[in-house]
Structure 1
């Protein structure tokens, strides 16, 4: 009796791979090749049927009456021979070696030859290698080839390294379309990121204002104005000359400008009047405070570490902060603490202090030490030439930002509610800069009139004031941000440069003589009168444009 069996489909898994491998061998040996590929310096053989099976580009070439069909010769004069060879090898083997050096040219060739699998491998390689050095190139490639697979890795990288990347030369040299694409990736970042995007747009346009000024409107359209505080729209955006010149920019913000009710930001904090002054007697390591109400000195605490010459002592929100070398100390509730980025400040029995930066920060090597500390809002900023470290007092988190003040040793600082101002320093005696406390973008200001280092500064009623300088120790200069000008407060001279400057109900100058606890004070009303008189006397004031 015959036994009937059901047919069974069988597959040899290695068959297709074997055929592909055999075809590759034939190509390498020049056997049965019916197509010649010419580059600028090489000749390659291939099989027409293999090229057609792998690519619609080659299929169209040989299906229609084109020169290549008749001659059997394909020319790639504008593509590097090594790139063409990689593409042909991929067609025969499905394998390719991708590197940072060849990925862009390889993707260009893959797109031209319509090899989607090769193009996808290039995208995978790029997504795994997003760095500050490659980010601008990836943005351009993603925009040109509409590679959506790159959107997420680029977006994640930009959110994490926003302030660093936006200040690179590569970003500043991008065209308007890649910049627009980059800003669109950052949608959904919230109010703070929207303000950062505004600063990025201004920086990019001002990098080449004659050419890029007309492209400002295209980038302005990307901003989500509903996320910006009404106060920011009125006091910052509407005062920008690029906006004032453009009707297309003014129209979309008119409804926000007219309606104060949309601003959901909290009311501006009133500045707290200082109740005491804090200094340290380095010989004894004793930190002392001067009570402004009762006008008496008292001991506060003994500093547990080693105070260097550049040590900065700061009292803020009932806490004491000491920056010395590249270490940070905090004193609160009679206990010293120390910490590092991303971690809560911890109790430290020995309290030797901890480097507040990570291994990638220049401070970690000891090349740069904290020159100045200053408090703005809920943060304490520690400033060096190469970086800015921010301690959030609420979360106790320390963060390192790659932007630094770019000033020489012995620079000095003050701050408004939104910006940190830094001045002078060794070999940068005339220089002045500002750093936005939100975006961490640094801008160059008009140069000071008199050279200054080892000086001091304070902020009063919208202006910055500077003391000090080796050649002009008693000169007081005033900087007006709205006009970007300096003028000398001629009638307001001090007998000696102070060691510390504080402002509360009066202006206090501390130290600067043999005794650190020597204090002189001045009436703020008198300061207002002198400033008004000297600003009028200076007429156009002193304005020396900063140079890089």
Structure 2
């Protein structure tokens, strides 16, 4: 049975050719076949019919030998239908059995491998394996891994896996990522020293096919963020939406705690003011908000927060003041935002749980709430 496209898709250009030869019969047998002399069996490959000699087929191929010597239906038949082999492949195989020669290319390698497995042509199967060993690259190594596993080609499987592990950067950019099986992905993650490459590899694998997002948390067990740069974590890891859950935030928080605050920018931005919000007066939580304009040294009164709170966290980004969590007699999970352009407060979706004194960060227009209690 031929390999389904979802497992293997060998790329064709550039065309490579390997000619293989087995111990050949005298040329006269091929001439007799072509002249239809003494032929006694017809092989049918789709619409292609090829007249052959039973004795030649049985002598050169164990599959036909067993067929003609046992009580299979084909033993007494004048034709054998091989529906799993295409016409073009069938012509090559018959030529191979009579002449001992065959041309292996990237166009026919998969079909020849499937046919050699079916017809018990061990020498041809080994020839195809040798051909693929010399034609493994970043574009087809995932397909070759799947093909080698299917046909139990141990040498080819080990070679293709090694190639994949050594060329992660190139393979990430290919169209074959959707063909990579999870077990092979994990092998790469465990063998590859670059944790940043591993995270990018997981990202690409998750997005290459549907139904994989639920595997993200388990796969992240094979990535050590502590070995990634702060810039990579802030720009890439924190921007990944699949990290926006309790487990993901815990990993990011652990990274921040072990590495300290992010490196200061090379050219610090000039502060133009700050905002004071909420607090406590006579043990009562407050709603008031004030902004200080550092350029003219003036305080301005802002619209009060919809919810009085203290012990909350706030951050300013893109003309918005965000207020998160806090305490108003009970712990809060509410999030509110003040649009500084029209001075209107808006309610945002609440946090999964109440929090005080959380650390806030904005990355790629995403608000992250870290830590707190």
TM-score scaled by length of structure 2:
0.54
* Cα contact 1:52–1:59 (8 A) shared by 2: yes
SS in 1 for 2:321: helix
- In the other structure, the counterpart of 1:118 is 124
| Distance (whole Å) between structure 2 residues aligned to residue 165 and residue 95 of structure 1 | 35
| Distance (whole Å) between structure 1 residues aligned to residue 292 and residue 168 of structure 2 | 43
| Distance (whole Å) between structure 2 residues aligned to residue 119 and residue 243 of structure 1 | 49
Per-residue deviation at 1:230? 7.0
* Cα contact 1:492–1:530 (8 A) shared by 2: no
Q: CA RMSD in A?
A: 4.7
Per-residue deviation at 1:68? 1.0
Note the residue ranges of structure 1 that are not aligned, 5 or more in a row: 1-15, 251-256, 278-291, 293-457, 461-490, 496-527
Superposed counterparts of 1:74-473, under 5 Å: 74-172=80-178, 174=179, 178-180=180-182, 182-183=184-185, 186=188, 189-192=191-194, 196-209=197-210, 211-213=211-213, 216=215, 220=218, 225=222, 228=224, 268=259
Structure number, greater radius of gyration: 2
Superposed counterparts of 1:487-506, under 5 Å: none
| Distance (whole Å) between structure 2 residues aligned to residue 29 and residue 145 of structure 1 | 37
* Cα contact 2:136–2:160 (8 A) shared by 1: yes
Q: Against the structure 1 CA distance between its residues 28 and 164, is the aligned structure 2 distance closer, same or farther, given a 3 Å change threshold?
A: same
1:41 aligns with 2:41: no
* Cα contact 1:89–1:95 (8 A) shared by 2: yes
Q: Which deviations, in whole Å up to 9, do the C-alpha atoms of 1:157-199 show, x marking residues without a partner?
A: 3234312222322323x2xxx4235325536524426x64454
SS in 1 for 2:106: coil
Per-residue deviation at 1:71? 0.7
| Distance (whole Å) between structure 2 residues aligned to residue 100 and residue 149 of structure 1 | 19
SS in 1 for 2:103: coil
| Distance (whole Å) between structure 2 residues aligned to residue 48 and residue 243 of structure 1 | 67
- In the other structure, the counterpart of 2:338 is 537
* Cα contact 2:68–2:75 (8 A) shared by 1: yes
Q: Against the structure 1 CA distance between its residues 187 and 49, is the aligned structure 2 distance closer, same or farther, given a 3 Å change threshold?
A: farther
Q: Which deviations, in whole Å up to 9, do the C-alpha atoms of 1:100-124 show, x marking residues without a partner?
A: 1111112121111121111111111
| Distance (whole Å) between structure 2 residues aligned to residue 220 and residue 51 of structure 1 | 53
| Distance (whole Å) between structure 2 residues aligned to residue 124 and residue 68 of structure 1 | 33
SS in 2 for 1:537: strand
| Distance (whole Å) between structure 2 residues aligned to residue 61 and residue 114 of structure 1 | 12
* Cα contact 1:40–1:77 (8 A) shared by 2: yes
| Distance (whole Å) between structure 2 residues aligned to residue 492 and residue 159 of structure 1 | 56
Q: Against the structure 1 CA distance between its residues 117 and 179, is the aligned structure 2 distance closer, same or farther, given a 3 Å change threshold?
A: same
Q: Against the structure 1 CA distance between its residues 243 and 23, is the aligned structure 2 distance closer, same or farther, given a 3 Å change threshold?
A: farther
Q: Against the structure 1 CA distance between its residues 102 and 185, is the aligned structure 2 distance closer, same or farther, given a 3 Å change threshold?
A: farther
SS in 1 for 2:71: coil
* Cα contact 2:133–2:159 (8 A) shared by 1: yes
Q: Which deviations, in whole Å up to 9, do the C-alpha atoms of 1:295-317 show, x marking residues without a partner?
A: xxxxxxxxxxxxxxxxxxxxxxx
| Distance (whole Å) between structure 2 residues aligned to residue 189 and residue 104 of structure 1 | 29
TM-score scaled by length of structure 1:
0.39
Q: Which deviations, in whole Å up to 9, do the C-alpha atoms of 1:361-401 show, x marking residues without a partner?
A: xxxxxxxxxxxxxxxxxxxxxxxxxxxxxxxxxxxxxxxxx
Q: Against the structure 1 CA distance between its residues 34 and 231, is the aligned structure 2 distance closer, same or farther, given a 3 Å change threshold?
A: same
| Distance (whole Å) between structure 1 residues aligned to residue 194 and residue 49 of structure 2 | 56
Note the residue ranges of structure 2 that are not aligned, 5 or more in a row: 1-21, 271-290, 296-313, 323-336, 340-345, 350-361, 367-373
- Structure with the larger helix share: 2
| Distance (whole Å) between structure 1 residues aligned to residue 137 and residue 112 of structure 2 | 19
- In the other structure, the counterpart of 1:31 is 37
- In the other structure, the counterpart of 1:312 is none
